Amino acid sequence: MPYVYMVECCDGSYYVGSTWDLERRIIEHNLKLGSRYTRRRTPVRLVWFEEYSRIEDAFLREKQVQGWGRPKRQALIDDRLDDLPGLSKSRDVG
């Protein structure tokens, strides 16, 4: 099954990705075989994931979460889903 996931890097930052094999991907990140971003920030630990039936859906969710700021990502990790709308980035008008 496809997954979208978030790992916390050793520097406290978050990395969001998608994969077919979650366990293998986390191992790859920690062996410095994952993304360029995580290679410099190992070890990483899995802090959140969702499972999808289609890789396209996992990829779309990955892109959505990648666009979020840290407070909104933290709310997702903490399962504070009711807080997510209030944490959306707003644009000042005027």
pLDDT score for 22: 97
Fold exhibited by the domain 3-87 = GIY-YIG endonuclease (3.40.1440)
Could you write out the DSSP letters of every residue in the chain?
--EEEEEE-TTS-EEEEEES-HHHHHHHHHTT-S-HHHHTS---EEEEEEE-SSHHHHHHHHHHHHTS-HHHHHHHHTT-GGGTGGGS------
Task: Identify the band that residue 90 occupies on the pLDDT scale cut at 50, 70 and 90.
Answer: low
Domain ranges of the chain: 3-87
Per residue in 15-74, pLDDT (tens digit) is 999 999 999 999 999 999 989 999 999 999 999 999 999 999 999 999 999 999 999 999
